[in-house]
């Protein structure tokens, strides 16, 4: 095995699935993490381990990564991608949806970084890609808590980038706009869902997660002394 281990959370669908496949096709051994194990196994990737993991469970996440590292060596790329988007009218939204977004989108990302950053610092090499969103840079009225979680990702990524950069470790933030994925399944508020769908239609549709995956692979394969600190990618017609 010449190429190092790439770990992808939320690898069972959407952007995570596309990224797992892109890294695998480029010859990297991969660890795929999400709750829907059967989906990840159905991709049948070469030199790959799939584990049923909830990113909120820090201990299980760490154990899965250690197990893959025993087989494939240290994690050199972690894509902290798992996330949920329960967009809604904040005044009527069930607070349980806030809890879920906060736990998965913020603590889940911290848990992933916790699992790899000390080793990357010690090895003086490694790349962490944290999934934010354009909603981590701009506020949308019906994205309230989701925006909060993605602003969190930007804040901690910038902080940890500063901390890890002297150790030659890169922290990259991905900030996509409307990408084809299962994200709409997470919207339980019918009015918000309708408005979201109308907006997608208005801008001529979403774009394939394969473009996001390609950008992550491109950023990762730059020499270690070159970092794309943040990638903002949207459909061209997405005007806000
Ligand atoms: P999907 O819904 O297709 O993918 C979400 C992934 O996250 C799934 O693999 C899901 O797997 C996983 N996931 C969700 N909750 C957990 C959990 N508790 N533990 C482990 N895995 C979990 O949508 P996307 O591909 O769009 O979402 C990926 C990321 O991209 C998210 O962080 C999202 O916020 C972000 N994003 C998406 C945009 C878009 O337009 N699609 C735009 C901007 C950002 P499983 O259910 O099997 O656990």
List, for residues 114-135, the tens digit of each pLDDT value: 999 999 999 999 999 999 999 9
Instruction: Tell me the backbone φ, ψ of residue 28, rounded to 5 degrees.
Output: -90, 140
Dihedral angle computed from the Cα positions of residues 227, 225, 27 and 16, in that order, rounded to the nearest 10 degrees: -20
pLDDT lower than 50: segments of the chain = none
Rounded CA gap, 93 and 188, in Å?
9
Length of the chain: 240
pLDDT for residue 44: 98
State the pLDDT at residue 1: 59
Measured in degrees and rounded to the nearest 5, phi and psi for residue 2 equal: -100, -30
- From 109, 181, 211, 231, give the residue whose CB has the most ligand 1 atoms within 8 Å, as the site to mutate: 181
Q: How far is 224 from 219, CA to CA, in rounded Å?
A: 10
Residue 27 DSSP symbol: T
Residue 240 is predicted with a pLDDT of: 85
220 is catalytic: no
Tokens of 161: 């980038």
Q: What is the largest CA-CA distance in the chain?
A: 53
Residue 212, ligand 1, Cβ within 6 A: no
* Ligand 1 mean position, distance from CA 67 (Å): 23
User: Of 28, 72, 146, 151, which residue is the catalytic one?
Assistant: 146
How is residue 232 written in tokens? 């903002």
Give dist(CA 21, CA 221) in Å, integer.
15
Distance 122 CA to ligand 1 centre (A): 30
CB atoms within 10 A of CB 122: 11
Query: Is 239 in contact with 41 (CB distance < 8 Å)?
Result: no
Strands 127-131 and 75-80 turn out to be parallel
């Amino acid at each position: 095995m010449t190429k190092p281990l790439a770990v992808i959370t939320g690898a069972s669908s959407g952007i995570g699935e596309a990224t797992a496949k892109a890294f695998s096709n480029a010859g990297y051994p991969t660890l795929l993490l999400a709750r829907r194990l059967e989906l990840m196994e159905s991709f049948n990737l070469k030199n790959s381990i799939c584990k049923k993991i909830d990113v909120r469970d820090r201990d299980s996440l760490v154990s899965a990564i250690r197990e893959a590292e025993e087989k494939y060596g240290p994690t050199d790329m972690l894509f902290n991608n798992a996330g949920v988007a329960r967009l809604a009218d904040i005044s009527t939204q069930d607070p349980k949806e806030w809890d879920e977004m906060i736990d998965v989108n913020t603590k889940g990302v911290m848990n992933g970084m916790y699992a790899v950053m000390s080793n990357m610092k010690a090895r003086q090499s490694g790349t962490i890609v944290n999934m934010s969103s354009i909603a981590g840079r701009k506020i949308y009225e019906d994205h309230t808590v989701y925006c909060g979680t993605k602003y969190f990702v930007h804040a901690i990524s910038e902080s940890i980038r500063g901390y890890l950069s002297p150790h030659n470790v890169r922290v990259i933030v991905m900030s996509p706009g409307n990408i084809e994925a299962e994200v709409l399944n997470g919207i339980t508020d019918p009015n918000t869902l309708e408005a979201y769908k109308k907006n997608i239609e208005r801008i001529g549709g979403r774009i394939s997660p394969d473009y996001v995956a390609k950008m992550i692979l491109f950023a990762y394969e730059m020499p270690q002394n070159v970092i794309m600190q943040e990638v903002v990618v949207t459909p061209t017609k997405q005007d806000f």
